[in-house]
Amino acid sequence: MTSSAHCQLTGRRPGFGKSVSHSHRRTSRRFDPNIQRKRYWLASEGRHVRLTLSAKGIKTVDTIGIEAAVARIRARGEKV
């Protein structure tokens, strides 16, 4: 399943809530995660992969490495 505001690694999606005005009227709004498109070199396959990641997902890739991150994404059944 692909969605524009969806992190492939952490699974973060938009949250939904209400905007509350000064007069306390409520209207629906959406809290989008900080999604970035990042390109990484995947040495084991000799190619680049482009991932849609949240800011936290980018930090996770920096910590665990791209190979482990791609393995986690594939374990969830997503194509990379």
Q: 67: pLDDT confidence band, cut at 50, 70 and 90? A: very high
Euclidean distance between CA atoms 53 and 57, whole angstroms: 5
**Digit-coded pLDDT (tens) for 19-51:** 999 999 999 999 999 999 999 999 999 999 999
The token duo for 78 is: 């997503």
Average pLDDT of 52-60? 96
What per-residue confidence (pLDDT) applies to 4? 82
**Residue 57 φ/ψ, nearest 5 degrees:** -65, -40
The token duo for 46 is: 């000799």
The token duo for 64 is: 């665990």
pTM: 0.84
Mean pLDDT of the chain: 94
| Distant-in-sequence, close-in-space partners of 17: CB < 8 Å, separation ≥ 6 | 28, 29, 30, 31
